[in-house]
Amino acid sequence: MDALVVGGGVVGLSAAYALADRGVDVTLVEKGSLGNASTARSAGGIRSQFSTRVNVELSLASKAVWNAFEERFGVDIGLRKNGYLFLARSEETAERFRENVEMQRELGAGSELLTPEEATEHCPGLDPDPFVAATYNPDDGIADPNLAVQGYAEAARERGVEILTKTAVTDLHRQGDRVVGADVRAVGAGGEGTERREVDCVVNAAGAWAATLGEMAGVDLPIAPRRRQIAVVDPTPPVPESVPLTIDLETGSYFRPERDGVALVGGHFETDADPDQDPDAYDEGMDVEWAARAVEHAAEYAEYFGLDTRIQRGWAGLYAVTPDHHPVVEETIPGLVTVAGFSGHGFQHAPASGRIAADLVVDGETDLLDVSPLAGDRFERGDTLTERSVA
């Protein structure tokens, strides 16, 4: 069996590795460099505190790989289990927290419901007064996405995966309802450089470009590229490295410690009507006004971000967003498996998603978890999901 994986981010590399591990002859094509798009601009969070069962299950299945990554792949991804701390300002959100923790614990996650005062034991600089409840999971944390890309890429190559960078898919070919091949060529090459590849299956792990790839097969995927930003700041006083990634859920503000005394600050403060971005021509820099606002939001509930806090630098990347902030994971049409639209959660869910993609290619189904809620036609059926922890 031959498979073509489109997309050299961590999801695509995970899928290529899992396919090769199943004995599939795999080629991966990436129009840029491996991990250079959304993966490289990820905050690196890994958590199981989600509000839907399928997201929690994706997290737990992925954590099993992240926890053993160095042993399995020989690469230290810098995994730090500082935990995630979610904060609720209203009783309505607090009630959802209670329901979420109950569901998460039922599935095997070690989440806890805390009072605001108890939350300060994990985040000493937190002002508990604006909040009514919190949730915490000590097994959540962060890792380095770039190191994860290296680990997956090396393992995939060892299993015979042909990895072609600076190579774009220019068209997909169908025979009836089935995708049977793709045209690929080196980026910048003329039409004469196009090569037709006959394959049994194409895996769409193209992230922000996933909808474009779907169009080549005559498929409409509800996945849109949206720009998101992160600021690197010098907090005053410094955020202890033991502090969890802390999220003020209702304002969308978050921060986490980095090494060497700096912190990452972020948040999405605009509306859901943000314009779609051209993934080939968007501003990868940070907006200083946005960064100042992000620091101001964090200062409202954490003492680390005083008047002397200095903004060092920052960057912007693209989320591949669906209307309900859940991915599309399915065989969309025969010969085309889609694993995209993670809405900011692609890095942390990559191990499970790659395994599922391989299962769908080889077996037509997966026994890792029930992915039927992630079918792309859920939007037409009105059977969408609601993820309330999208910050």
**CATH at residue 371:** 3.50.50.60
Any domain includes 267:
yes
3-state secondary structure of 39: helix
**Residue 61, pLDDT score:** 98
User: Which has the closest alpha carbon to 62: 388, 373, 347, 357?
Assistant: 347
> Given a cut of 70, is residue 390 above it in pLDDT?
no
Question: What pLDDT is recorded for position 229?
Answer: 94
pLDDT band at 389 (very low <50, low <70, confident <90, very high): low
Give the pLDDT mean for 33-54.
94
Contact 89, 153 (CB under 8 A): no
67 part of a folded domain:
no
User: Across residues 106-127, what is the average pLDDT?
Assistant: 98
Mean pLDDT for the stretch of residues 85-102:
97
| pLDDT computed for residue 268 by the predictor | 81
103 has pLDDT over 60: yes
Question: Does 55 reside within a domain?
Answer: no
Question: Can you tell me the distance from the alpha carbon of 252 to that of 117, in angstroms, rounded to the nearest whole number?
Answer: 21
Give the span between the Cα atoms of 77 and 256, in whole angstroms.
17
Last residue of some domain: 300, 321, 342?
321
Please indicate, yes or no, whether residues 210 and 242 belong to a single structural domain of this protein: no
H or E, element range at 203: strand 201-204
Take residue 141 and report the two structure tokens written for it.
Answer: 């944390």
Please report, for the domain that includes residue 125, its CATH number.
3.30.9.10
Amino acid at 389: S
Q: Which domain holds residue 237?
A: 83-139+224-321
Overall number of domains in the chain: 2
DSSP 286: P
Q: Looking at the structure, tell me whether residues 40 and 150 fall in a common domain.
A: yes
Does the residue 304 lie in any domain? yes
For the segment 216-231, the average pLDDT, to the nearest whole number, is 96
**Do residues 255 and 335 share a domain?**
no
229 in a structural domain: yes
Q: What is the pTM of this model?
A: 0.95
Residues 159 and 216 in one domain: yes
Tokens representing 69?
């990554």
- Is residue 172 assigned to a domain? yes
Contact 77, 147 (CB under 8 A): yes
Say whether both 134 and 251 belong to one domain. yes
Interval 245-303: pLDDT, tens: 999 999 999 999 998 889 999 998 754 446 788 999 999 999 999 999 999 999 999 99
Q: Quick one: 217 and 229 in the same domain?
A: no
Q: Which two tokens stand for residue 123?
A: 């985040």
Of 168, 163, 166, 198, the C-alpha closest to 181 is 198
Residue corresponding to tokens 């169009």: 215
Do the beta carbons of residue 69 and residue 77 sit within 8 Å?
yes
The answer to the question of residue 332 being in a domain is: yes
**Dist. CA 199–CA 183, nearest whole Å:** 11
Within-domain flag for 91: yes
**Helices 145-158 and 10-21, packing angle to 10 deg:** 30
User: Is the distance from CB of 109 to CB of 217 less than 8 angstroms?
Assistant: no
